[in-house]
Chain A
Amino acid sequence: MSDAARTASAAENRATPTAENRATPDRATLLAAARAVPDPELPVLTLGDLGVIRDLRIAGDGAVEVDLTPTYTGCPATAVIAADVRVALRRAGADQVRVRTVLAPAWTTDWMSDSGQRKLREYGIAPPGPAAHAAEGPVMLAFSVRCPHCGSADTREVSRFGSTPCKALWTCRSCAEPFDSFKAI
C-alpha cells in the first residue's frame, strides 16, 4: 500500500543538513520551506497554493511538527507529499521532523490560493469554482467552466472523474480541446 512512501523515503535519507544550517531556523522560515514544496502530481502548484499545510510547530524536544491534510482520503500523493516535506525541512535546517496527518477540518478547494488558481489556468487546468455550490441536493449542479486554453465558456463535462481524484474531464466546444477541471469540493 505504501510503495510510493518507501520510494520517497529513500530520497529523504540522502538529504542531510549541511554544517552551516545546523542551528534550527525560526518557524516562519520553516513554514515557508514547507509551503514552497511542489505538489508531486501538479508540480506547478506548491503545497502552500494547495492549502494542505495546516500548521507547523517547534515541539518541546526541538522537533519540527507539521500538520498535513490530505486532499482526498485515498489520494496516493499524500505519502509522497509527507516525505517531500520532511526532505525540505531537513534541507532548511530542521534536525527532527514529525509529520502528522489531520483530517479535520476537511480540505476544501476554497483553501487554494489566488496564485494557485492562476497557475492552474496557465498550466491548462480549469481552476475550481466556489465549493459551497458543489454538493447538496439530489442532483449536483455543474457550473459552467471556462476553457483554460481559449477562455470560452462554451464547454461541456465529459466525465465527473478524471486522471486524478481531484479532477474532472471536460471538453471545449469552441477550440475542441479536451481539458482537466479541478473539482470544487
Chain B
Amino acid sequence: MTGVRTLLPLAAYALALGDDALILAQRLGEWVARAPQIEEDVALANIALDLLGQARTLLSYAGEVEGAGRDEDDLAYQRDDRDFRNVQLVEIPNGDFAVTMARQLVFSAYQYELYTALLTSADPTLAGLAGKAVKEVAYHRDHATQWVLRLGDGTDLSHARMQAGLDQVWPYTDELFDPADQLPGVAADPAALRPAWQRYITEVLSEATCHQPEPRWRSRGGRDGLHTEHLGHLLAEMQHLNRSHPGATW
C-alpha cells in the first residue's frame, strides 16, 4: 500500500482534514452513554456524526485524487497510525467533560475559520463541502462556547476544572496553524486562520473568566504521521471489526 509521503499535495490535504474529523468523531463517540446528562450524549453523538460526514467526503475525495483505487473505508480502516495525518489535538483522550469542552472550543473555532476560508476555494469539492460544513460547525462552536461559559463562570469548582481542561489541551493548539504544503487558491493557509480564531477564543475565555494558558511545550508532527501513543489504541478499536473480517458485506 502506498505511504502518505508519496501522495499528491491535494490528496494529502484532503486526507489531513479528513483525518482530523474522523479521529475526533471516534473520540466523541466514546462519550455516548457516559456524558453527564442524556442531552449531552445526544449532542456529542450528533457532533460526531457531522464530523464523520465531513470525514467521509474528504477521505473519498483523497482516494479519488490519489487514483490508486482506495475508497473511504480503505483509508479509514486499513492504514496504520504512522499513515494518519491528523493533528495530535484530536487523538488525545477525552479526559473529563471540561477537557472535552476545551478541545471542542479550540477545534470547532478552528474548523469554523477553516471552512469559512474554503468557501472560496478553487476546488469545487472542498468549496462544496465547506458550504455545508460551516453551518454544522457553527452549531458545534456554539455548543462548546455555552459550556465553557457555564463552567468557567460557574462555581469555584467548575471554574477550576474548566481552567484545568484548557491547560491540558493548550499545548496541542499551535499545531493546528503550522505551515502546510502550499496549494494557492485551493487550500486555506493555516497561519492565516489564526487571527480570527484568536479573537473568538479571547472573547469566550474572557467572558468565561478563564485565562488563555501559556504552555511551556507544544505538540508537533501529526501532519507528518508522528502521533502520541493514544492514536494506536483508538485505531485498534475503530479498525478491529473491519480488519478481522476483510471485505465482509451484509
Contacts and interface: CB of A to CB of B under 8 A. Distances in A.
B72 A73 contact: no
Interface stretch (B1-9, B42-50, B186-194, B224-232): B42-50
A140 B249 contact: no
B34 interface: no
Contacts, number: 92
A185 B133 CA distance: 11
Interface stretch (A25-33, A103-111, A115-123): A103-111
A159 B131 CA distance: 24
A161 B47 CA distance: 8
By secondary structure, the B interface counts as helix
B73 interface: yes
A124 interface: no
A3 B43 contact: no
Interface in B51-68: 51-54, 56-57
B116 to A, nearest CB: 11
Interface residues of B, number: 38
Nearest to A158: B39
A73 B132 contact: yes
Contact-size category for A: 20 to 34
A105 B138 contact: no
Interface of B: 39-40, 42-43, 45-47, 49-54, 56-57, 72-73, 76, 124-125, 127-129, 131-133, 135-136, 138-139, 142-143, 145, 200, 203-204, 249-250
10 contacts: A1-B56, A1-B76, A75-B49, A75-B53, A106-B132, A139-B145, A160-B139, A161-B47, A161-B143, A183-B139
